[in-house]
Amino acid sequence: MTEHITTVAGVAVDTRHWIGGERVASVRTFTDVSPIDGSTLGEIARGGATEAEAAVAAARTAFPGWAATPRTERARLLRAIADGVDKRLEDLAIVETHDNGALLRSHRRGVMPRVAHNFRFFADWLLRLEHEDFTTRGHTNHVSWDAAGPSVLITPWNAPLMLATWKIAPALAAGNTVVLKPAEWTPLTASLIADIAAEAGLPAGVLNVVQGYGAEAGSALVSHPDVRRISFTGSVPTARRIAGAAAANLVPASFELGGKSPLLVFADADLDLAVDLAVEQYDNAGQVCLAASRVLVEAPVAEEFTRRLVEQTARLRQGDPREEATDIGPNIHPRQLEKIDGFVRRALAAGARALVGGTPHEKLGGLYYRPTLLTGVAQDSEIVQEEVFGPVLTLQTFTDEEEAVHLANDTRFGLAATVATGDRERAARVTARLVAGTVWVNCFFVRDLQAPFGGSRQSGVGREGGTWSFDFYCDIKNTVSAPKGWKGHG
């Protein structure tokens, strides 16, 4: 038993898969490494076609019973999982910080409480999910949400447990069974949530966790003919491959993909607020899909805005994410650091200028990249058009609303946008023209689970949140009843 347990800062984590209510080992393993210092966190079971088949079979077997479970009981179990998250919040925060390098203070105060909220929210929403009956020529129409079947959920490494449970909770609430494939760079809290769900009383096979690489475990899962829903958060190229596999079996798929979101700062904006919004984009070392990495500033205030942004960025404290005073931790993996540095080096070679940063952190070494602000970039340049997914912002200027909207929309993405302005009418005009799934005005990252979430263009397909999640994870049925033909008094 102990050979399959790794200990992370005193927290024991099982490194095996969770399939059909049991721990399952694999012949092969992969090494999980902490981005903080390069230390080995554990040897993780490396699943493939065999484990994928077993997990889907377990989900298929458990599905009829779970789908038939009354809504009130499903909701009770979701709340019990949330209670379990609350009890192990510190363990989850510590393990997640070691596994993905994000700030421990953020995991404690925001991320892990949000994990518990994901389960409670969808438990509550399930109990009030309904559509008012309506009549057609005297016939009654009744809309219902029927569980669809086994669902495959593939999640990223930048916010592993929060984004996993954002999918798990509505899928389970809908009556579906789940196979989760966490990112191979951050598998540990997915194992812990399986333990928490089992302790809460979730029946065997309702939630399964298969660890491994996308080309092995992930590919086998998304191409399985018994899967009825696929939800994926990650890159555009991977989404294309998953879409092909889903199309072969006509399986509905939801994709939340990359972003290259703009922050539009108008001359009438509160500049202190606008600078704060820009600095927020360095959160999680820039590894946030929603980050407004393209800062667009109206020319009359560009010089003053830039001066304040440079000063405030230079004050950010970079270092060990376990320390309370740290503002920015490491990036996730050597490959990601090389990617970030490559983007910046090519931009500088093409004529960009680094007002702050522009290199890996010389003193910290490892996977720490200095928060970077680039100016002198062309709209059609790689650094403006492609997602870096690191602590790198570009700054451009505009002369009027028309140019601002043009620059904001001039990428292949459309995930989010942020607007800073003191004019309500301008805010209404501009937001109406922005191509984005979410637009924030004079704020950033305010998220409510009842709101639709997703991207436009190559930032994604579909919307989730509130009833939109149930619309995706369910087969929606309309039952039409005639006013005649009934016998008796029932």
pLDDT for 147? 98
Residue 487: pLDDT band by 50, 70, 90 thresholds?
Answer: confident
Question: What is the average per-residue pLDDT within 421-431?
Answer: 97
Question: What is the average per-residue pLDDT within 246-269?
Answer: 96
- 389 φ/ψ sector (left φ>0, alpha ψ -120 to 50, else beta): left
Query: Which DSSP string corresponds to 410-476?
Result: -SS--SEEEEE-S-HHHHHHHHHH---SEEEES------TTS-B--SGGGEE--BSHHHHHHHHEEE
pLDDT for 81? 98
Q: CA 289 to CA 253: how far, in whole Å?
A: 19
| Residue 475: CA count within 13 A, CB half-sphere | 12
Residue-range domain boundaries for the chain: 2-257+455-478, 262-441
Residue 455: pLDDT band by 50, 70, 90 thresholds?
Answer: very high
CB 59 within 8 A of CB 178: yes
Q: Tell the residue number behind the tokens 């500088």, with chain if given.
A: 348
Question: What is the average per-residue pLDDT within 466-487?
Answer: 94
- 101 φ/ψ sector (left φ>0, alpha ψ -120 to 50, else beta): left
Q: CA torsion sign, 154 to 410 to 472 to 464?
A: positive
Give the model confidence (pLDDT) of 114-165 as tens digits. 999 999 999 999 999 999 999 999 999 999 999 999 999 999 999 999 999 9
Quote the mean pLDDT of the chain: 96
For residue 153 the two structure tokens come to 């959920």
Q: Give the CA angle between residues 445, 450, 453 to the nearest 5°.
A: 55
Is the predicted pLDDT of residue 315 greater than 70, yes or no? yes
Give the model confidence (pLDDT) of 107-120 as tens digits. 999 999 999 999 99
CA distance readout (Å), 239 to 229, 244, 330, 355 = 14, 9, 26, 35
Catalytic residue among 216, 289, 464, 474: 289
Asked if the domains at 2-257+455-478 and 262-441 fall in one CATH topology, the answer is no
Q: CA 433 to CA 426: how far, in whole Å?
A: 11
For residue 479 the two structure tokens come to 């039952």
Please say whether the structural domain 2-257+455-478 has been given the CATH code 3.40.605.10. yes
Is the predicted pLDDT of residue 287 greater than 60, yes or no? yes
Strand order in the sheet with 353-356: 353-356, 372-375, 392-398, 294-298, 262-265, 416-420, 438-441
Question: What is the average per-residue pLDDT within 309-321?
Answer: 97
For residue 107 the two structure tokens come to 């995991």
Class of the 262-441 domain? alpha beta
pLDDT for 3? 85
Give the model confidence (pLDDT) of 181-202 as tens digits. 999 999 999 999 999 999 999 9
Is the predicted pLDDT of residue 489 greater than 70, yes or no? no
CA distance readout (Å), 365 to 25, 111, 320 = 35, 27, 12
pLDDT for 485? 87
**What percentage of residues in the chain have a pLDDT greater than 90?**
97
CB 60 within 8 A of CB 176: no
CB 200 within 8 A of CB 229: no
Give the model confidence (pLDDT) of 61-119 as tens digits. 999 999 999 999 999 999 999 999 999 999 999 999 999 999 999 999 999 999 999 99
Task: Provide the residue count of the chain.
Answer: 490
Question: What is the average per-residue pLDDT within 221-233?
Answer: 98
| Residue 389: CA count within 13 A, CB half-sphere | 20
For residue 404 the two structure tokens come to 């601002």
Hey, which residues does 87 pair with through a beta bridge? none
Q: Give the CA angle between residues 38, 41, 43 to the nearest 5°.
A: 120
Q: CA 256 to CA 258: how far, in whole Å?
A: 7
Residue 488: pLDDT band by 50, 70, 90 thresholds?
Answer: confident
Active site residue 289: yes
Catalytic residue among 96, 256, 387, 464: 256
- pTM, two decimals, is 0.95
Active site residue 130: no
Is the predicted pLDDT of residue 304 greater than 60, yes or no? yes
